[in-house]
Amino acid sequence: METIFEFIGSNITYIYLIGLMVFVGIELISHVPSVLHTPLMSGANAIHGVVLIGAIIVLGKSEPTDYFSIVVGFIGVFVGTLNVIGGFVVTDRMLEMFKKKPKGGKS
């Protein structure tokens, strides 16, 4: 029990952050027209590509002689970049089609 309290106490900022972000995420998505579900899923998909930063960190701190970590880290950065770049480009291609519309209209 003591360790749990200590864990919470020492990470309290992160716990606040996580809690708030959960609400922000729910609020942002709750009232979106179904038209946008696919692009939105794709956009969110690109955002979790932020895992790329973790891959950069882990590859960056690997010993240059530790070939296992270098190879795995390299793949990690590569696939992380795929997620980010591919995600944003695909989303942009989908949303490109929503652009030029002469009148506002309903969604």
Partner 1 sequence: MQHLMEICYLIGSFGFIIGLKLMGQPDSARKGNLVAAFGMGMAVFGTLFLDKTGFAVIPNFGYIISAILLGTVVGTLMAKRVQMTAMPEMVSIFNGMGGLAAALISIIEWQEIAHHPEIEMPLGHYIPIIAGLIIGTISFVGSIIAWGKLNGKIGDFRFAGQQYINAFILLVIIVAAYFNFTHIADGGSMWFYITMAVAIIYGLLFVFPIGGADMPVVISLLNSFTGVAAACGGFLYSNNVMLMGGVLVGSAGTILTVVMCKAMNRSLMNVLIGMAGSNSSGSGAAVSGSAREVQATDVAIMMKYASKVIIVPGYGLAVAQAQHVCHELENILAEEGIDVKYAIHPVAGRMPGHMNVLLAESNVEYDKLIEMEHINSEFPTTDVVLVVGANDVVNPAAKTDPTSPIYGMPILDVEQAKQIVVLKRSMKSGYAGIENALFFDPKCGMLFGDAKDSLQKLVNEVKSL
Minimum CB separation of residue 62 from partner 1 in Å reads 6
HEC sequence for 28-77: HHHCCCHHHHHHHHHHHHHHHHHHHHHHHHHHHCCCCCCHHHHHHHHHHH
Residue 105 DSSP class: -
Q: Which of 9, 12, 52, 67 binds partner 1 (CB under 8 A)?
A: 52
Minimum CB separation of residue 81 from partner 1 in Å reads 3
Task: Write the CB contacts of 56 (distance below 8 Å, at least 6 apart in sequence).
Answer: 77, 80
Binding mask 72-101 for partner 1 (x = CB under 8 A): xxxxxxxxxxxxxxxxxxxxxxxxxxxx-x
Residue 5 engages partner 1 in binding (rule: CB under 8 A):
no
Binding mask 14-33 for partner 1 (x = CB under 8 A): x--xx--xxxxxx-xxxxxx
